[in-house]
Amino acid sequence: MQNFRSLRQTVAALAVAGLLSGGLAAPAAAAPPDGTKDAAARTIDPGAVAALTRMSGYLAGLKSFELTADTTMEAVLRDGHQVEVGGTVRYWVRRPDRIRIDSETDAVTRQYFYDGKTFTLVAPLDGYFARAEAKPTVRETLAFAAQALDVELPLADLMDWGSDTPPLKLFERGFYVGTAKVGGVATEHYALIGKDLDLEVWIQQGDRPLPLKMAIVDRKAPGNPRFTARLAWTPDVQIPDETFSFKPTQDQTAIAFGRLKPGSKDGKAGK
């Protein structure tokens, strides 16, 4: 996982010790094997595993979808203080080999196109774009972009959860937090704790177990900044081919990957 990070370890520990013993009613399937909070602190609750596996299976079954995410990222300054950076990410996905992402934050604006043959990163405010030959599927292309091109796409982790091998192995402990509403919709709230990162996910109740909110903290990063995303889904939508294709204008210049860095024309940092 590369973008989501959740509760700081200390907050998560308080949640295990406090929330689970503080009157939040968990469903029977989510109860620890021996019914103790100590077991919940040491293991991933079978109920949490079942819920996240069900969510992952549902996502994997979506042949196409649109997704809009309102995001908040804590940025750690040099003096240790944190400031919030807001943003909006919009996804268009048509499996197995089409994806487009439009990302706009307070700090940077980027677009990403994968048309089944090429992967293109666009800096629309800079007037630059970079293009590379892509892999056969969405998931392979996202992995290729991260590993070979050093391009971390926003919310790319969702493609891992929407696979037959959800990344549960990243976590050592997990538990059911309780019910909660996200945008007025009833959800089940789960927390997972790993060696290097923590995850919270709010899963819609009923027969469409979509993640409506996710939050992550990467505890390897200085200051343990928290990233939160509220997700609005449109499953099984018809998306035309041209959505996934990028055609540069005369004002847009092709450059090599790795050059979209601080100091470019719009002064915006990152890839």
Report how far residue 101's alpha carbon sits from residue 244's, in angstroms, rounded to the nearest whole number. Answer: 9
pLDDT confidence of residue 42: 61
pTM of the model: 0.77
Mean pLDDT, to the nearest integer, of 82-98?
A: 94
Query: In the predicted model, what is the mean pLDDT of the chain?
Result: 80
Specify if 270 maps to a domain: no
**Residue 263's pLDDT band (cuts 50, 70, 90):** very low
Specify if 2 maps to a domain: no
Examine the pLDDT at 203 and tell me if it is beyond 90.
yes
Radius of gyration of the chain (CA): 19
CATH of the domain at 68: 2.50.20.10
Whether omega before 124 lies within 30 degrees of 0, making that bond cis, reads: no
The single-letter code of the amino acid at 30 is A
Report how far residue 56's alpha carbon sits from residue 107's, in angstroms, rounded to the nearest whole number. Answer: 31
Q: Which tens digit of pLDDT belongs to each residue from 114-132?
A: 999 999 999 999 999 999 9
Q: Which tens digit of pLDDT belongs to each residue from 102-114?
A: 999 998 999 999 9
Tokens of 7: 């509760």
Specify if 259 maps to a domain: no
Specify if 268 maps to a domain: no
Report how far residue 113's alpha carbon sits from residue 144's, in angstroms, rounded to the nearest whole number. Answer: 14
**Residue 14's pLDDT band (cuts 50, 70, 90):** very low
pLDDT confidence of residue 80: 78
Domains contained in the chain, number: 1
Domain of residue 154: give its range: 9-254
Specify if 162 maps to a domain: yes
pLDDT confidence of residue 254: 96
Specify if 263 maps to a domain: no
Mean pLDDT, to the nearest integer, of 38-51?
A: 77
Strand partners, 249: none
Examine the pLDDT at 89 and tell me if it is beyond 50.
yes
Strand partners, 197: 218
Specify if 122 maps to a domain: yes
Specify if 186 maps to a domain: yes
Examine the pLDDT at 140 and tell me if it is beyond 80.
yes
Q: Which tens digit of pLDDT belongs to each residue from 152-177?
A: 888 877 777 766 666 888 889 999 99
Which is it for strands 82-94 and 64-76: parallel, antiparallel or unpaired?
Answer: antiparallel
Examine the pLDDT at 264 and tell me if it is beyond 80.
no
**Residue 34's pLDDT band (cuts 50, 70, 90):** very low
